[in-house]
């Protein structure tokens, strides 16, 4: 009797857990659904805000609607106040510019204009300081700065260095992406023109096959 009970217990222990076999793919599918919904909702949020401010908002309109946006954000995330909410709107603003080309208007206030001019001057000085450094070099420096910061998180000097490197890297990457985008646009236009002139079916098929083979499947 004791051996039978022992065998039954052993069999139960060796049986696969049904929940573990089902939950993993179910959870992954749910994660994909949630992410898709979040992308759709984010797109709708951008469209809604763009309609609220128009294509060329005044500074006053921008500030008023920005305040409304932050209030709505805090309603959903009560703990995200102050800097956290400001950073969230900054991310939203960048996506708004990418999606609709709408940028934050400059203030007509003299003091604000002076402050903006000072920021631009400081940015220009920082960019000049790192003029010869490539994004790859900057990423390596930033990684080293993060390592140093982990060892001394209270260091104001290292914190400022991290902020400076992140700022320069962001500007340089943006410039590189823009330049690459323009180059791609030019080359695609040239290829389209030449393909339109070509009457050799075999040549066109060869070029098409080369392009299809070279392009990753997720880009098709």
Each residue's pLDDT tens digit, 18-71: 445 456 678 888 888 888 999 899 999 999 999 999 988 998 899 999 999 999
The CA-based angle 113-117-123, given to 5 degrees, is 145
Eight-state DSSP code of residue 104:
P
Q: What pTM was estimated for this model as a whole?
A: 0.42
* Burial grade of 167 (CB within 10 A; 0-12, 13-18, 19 or more): middle
pLDDT tens-digit series, residues 156-183: 999 999 999 998 988 888 877 777 777 7
Asked if 135 contacts 173 with a C-beta cutoff of 8 angstroms, the reply is: yes
Tokens standing for residue 7: 């065998």
Three-state SS annotation for 161-202: HHHHHHHHHHHHHHHHHHHHHHHHHHHHHHHHHHHHHCCCHH
């Amino acid at each position: 009797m004791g051996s039978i009970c022992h065998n039954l217990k052993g069999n139960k222990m060796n049986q696969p857990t049904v929940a573990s076999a089902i939950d993993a793919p179910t959870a992954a599918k749910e994660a994909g659904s949630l992410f898709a919904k979040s992308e759709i909702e984010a797109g709708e949020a951008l469209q809604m805000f763009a309609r609220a401010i128009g294509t060329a908002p005044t500074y006053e309109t921008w500030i008023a609607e920005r305040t409304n946006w932050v209030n709505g954000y805090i309603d959903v995330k009560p703990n995200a106040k102050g800097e956290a909410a400001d950073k969230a709107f900054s991310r939203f603003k960048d996506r708004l510019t990418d999606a609709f080309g709408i940028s934050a208007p400059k203030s007509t206030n003299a003091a604000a204009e002076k402050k903006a001019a000072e920021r631009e001057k400081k940015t220009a000085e920082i960019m000049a300081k790192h003029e010869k450094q490539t994004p790859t070099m900057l990423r390596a420096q930033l990684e080293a700065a993060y390592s140093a910061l982990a060892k001394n998180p209270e260091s104001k000097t290292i914190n400022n260095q991290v902020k400076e490197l992140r700022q320069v890297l962001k500007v340089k990457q943006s410039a590189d992406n823009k330049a690459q985008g323009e180059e791609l646009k030019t080359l695609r236009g040239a290829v389209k023109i030449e393909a339109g002139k070509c009457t050799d079916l075999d040549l066109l098929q060869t070029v098409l096959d080369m392009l299809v083979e070279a392009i990753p499947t997720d880009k098709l």
